[in-house]
Amino acid sequence: MPSAMNAAALFLLALPTGVGAQAEPSWNDARVLELIGRARQLRTSTVVDSAFRSYQAQARGYVYFFFDRPDSGARTLVKADQVALDVYWQAPRSTKQVIVGRRDQQLLPTDIAYHLDHLTVVQDDFGDAMRMGDGDEVEDVPHPVAPSSESVYDFLLADSLTLSYAGGTQEIRVYQVRVRPKDFEQPGFVGTIFLDRATAAIVRMSFSFTPTSYVDPYVDYIRVALDNSLWMGRYWLPYRQEIEIRRETPLLDVMAGSVIRAQFDIRAYDFDVSLSLSLFAGPRVSQVSPAQRAAFTFERGLLDDIEEQGLDLPPSLAEVEREVRQVVEQNVMSGLEDLRFYFSAVSDAARYNRAEGLRVGGGVSFRPAPTLLMRTSGGYAFGAREPSGLVSAELGGGGGVTPVLDLHWNRLEDVGRYPGASPLENTISAVSGQKDYTDPYFARGGRLTLRGSDPSGFGVTVRAERHSSGRDVVSDDPADTEFRPVLSVDEGWLGALSVRAPLGLPGGGSADLVGEVGRLESRTFASVSGEALWPIGNPARRWRGEVSLAGGAVTSDAPAQSLTMLGGRWTLPGHDYRAFTGDRHWLLRAESTWPVYRPYVGARLIGSVGATYLGSRSLPADWVVQDSDGLRGSVGAGLSFGWDAARLDLAHGVRGGGWEALFSVARQFRDWL
């Protein structure tokens, strides 16, 4: 069998061969149009090539469904599928795919049903009229080398490159051609095609679509990366394919979306085999019986690929994103509505705490310009009798630095560094149990953040805001209430510069480091903090968990609101809530879950140990504080419910603590609450 080009191992060597040696190319010049014409002619001639009559091959793939939060880049795997296909082709245009193996695993409840083309491969570079989702997502988008494509698209010969493969022993020279529609208001292809310099065959396509291409109003974007491989020295056939489809609610911006990502490898080609005409009768895709699909023996584990790559955007699809940015200039490539209702979390609609009472609100997000995304929200706190509001502006589309400006009025902040509950959990607790897990204060001012396109990546933030203390507005007599007293903070105007740097760690861990320098009124201060997290196990094993190590320090002139508080929920359960305060601290936490009745009930073990250190410093008069006086710890056990999304734990404080029962949700869902 002829050897195929290993497309997964391709790398690009920029060589000034042809393009760079001549004048700067322009859109639709004669040279690129001639190249597109050659590519079109080759696609037609392959169909009638008498030496190439048929093939069969095998495809193996994964399809993942997960939730994501665009403002943080966090992603949560919901369901994983593994698929095995037998693939057939016969001249002139007969194709057939048979699903011979399939298995799946749900990590969170879902009733998603995939379109058939999400579970299969593309055999003909999408044909002359591109469609996806069986026509429900994209329908009849002209292919860039279809007949008369010059009337639909602009072409730019961007570069001439050499692709090296087969361990560096073989090379193929290609042209990189950027493609954009003449009218972005019409359905169209946006991206890059790589054409074999000798034959004009399509070697690779990296692309997305214009917003009007999307039939489904829920679609935010679709990104596609198709790699072909060279067979028999002359035929470029599918080798590796990756597709990502992201959706959001059309009229509601809730900082949450869903993503389908499919990736397939096509291999084991056998050419000029005898295929019966009956094989191609009926639908293009068929499948064997459920029992046969379940009995199929896969070469790799269901979650092996996700363990190796993680949930982050793979390099091939990240390259699609970069290529599209270079082509679209100032055009927006999202299929979502420009104007939507906006809530950053469920608690934006309604929340309750002792410094605001009941606060209700809402907002809108909109695009006043193609590269400018604005979000505005407001609310009213009935207990404090004060309005609050936020206006943010994000300037994107450049692919480099993304500035985000945030102007806020009476923004609710929390002393202590580690929140004890999500806002929704805190609302339920404060309303029903007279326990408010916040130590609230308010900020008025603005923040400017400079970051890359990835919200979880490196970023620099400058802020200027006025801090003011909160007060208990829900107790008739603050001296006679079950609520903890509201702590005052160091008030005044604060200016600060902070730098956030994410890091990868050995053992599959990750870390976030934050350093800040600032000035509150006449006091200059600095701080540094960080947290490292290591997942343990994986969803396919009998148990899973995580270990985190956090720490930080602030200088002696830092404001009281920058101090750390440990004790109780999510830090040292079993000790009094936020009983230990310090300008230096560290905290080691571990938890693990074993399925008991998968996926509905699991058994949990938790543990933590940490300390705070309080130096000689000036604090507000109402702060009655102490440090931990050495190490403090907690051990506990509990149950998890519903795919480990909700937890009920019972913990005991080690060295001076007691028993504490706590209900919480998994870490990945807290930002949505």
Read off the pLDDT of residues 525-566 as tens digits, 9 standing for 90 and up: 999 999 999 988 755 557 888 999 999 999 999 999 999 999
Q: How far apart are CA 434 and CA 147, in angstroms?
A: 71
Name the residue with tokens 């343990």: 536
Q: Specify which residues 600 forms β-bridges with.
A: none
Q: What is the pLDDT of residues 435-459, one digit of tens each?
A: 899 999 999 999 999 998 778 889 9
Q: What is the mean pLDDT of residues 278-282?
A: 88
pLDDT of residue 23: 58
pLDDT of residue 6: 43
pLDDT of residue 13: 39
Name the residue with tokens 């149950």: 639
| DSSP-assigned letter for residue 185 | T
Q: How far apart are CA 423 and CA 672, in angstroms?
A: 9
Name the residue with tokens 């004890």: 420
* Pick from 301-310, 334-343, 462-471, 542-551: least confident: 301-310
Q: Tell me the whole-structure pTM to 2 decimals.
A: 0.86
- How far is residue 140 CA from its own chain's centroid? 29
Q: Which residue has the higher pLDDT, 73 or 505?
A: 505
Q: How confident is the model at residue 625 (pLDDT cuts 50, 70, 90)?
A: confident
Domain residue ranges of the chain, discontinuous segments joined by +: 7-328, 339-489, 531-673
Task: Fill in the amino acid letter for 179.
Answer: V
Q: What percent of the chain has pLDDT over 90?
A: 60
Q: How far apart are CA 54 and CA 232, in angstroms?
A: 13
Q: How confident is the model at residue 340 (pLDDT cuts 50, 70, 90)?
A: very high
What does pLDDT average to over the chain? 88
Residue 49 has pLDDT above 70, yes or no: no
Query: Which one is the CATH code of 531-673: 3.40.50.20, 2.40.160.50, 1.20.1250.20, 3.40.50.300?
Result: 2.40.160.50
Q: What is the mean pLDDT of residues 10-19?
A: 42
Q: How far apart are CA 307 and CA 405, in angstroms?
A: 36
Q: Which residue has the higher pLDDT, 673 or 414?
A: 414
Q: With contact defined as beta carbons under 8 Å apart, do 476 and 450 qualify?
A: no
Q: With contact defined as beta carbons under 8 Å apart, do 150 and 36 qualify?
A: yes
Q: How far apart are CA 44 and CA 232, in angstroms?
A: 19
Q: How far apart are CA 52 and CA 366, in angstroms?
A: 53
The token pair that represents 60 in the structure block: 């193996």
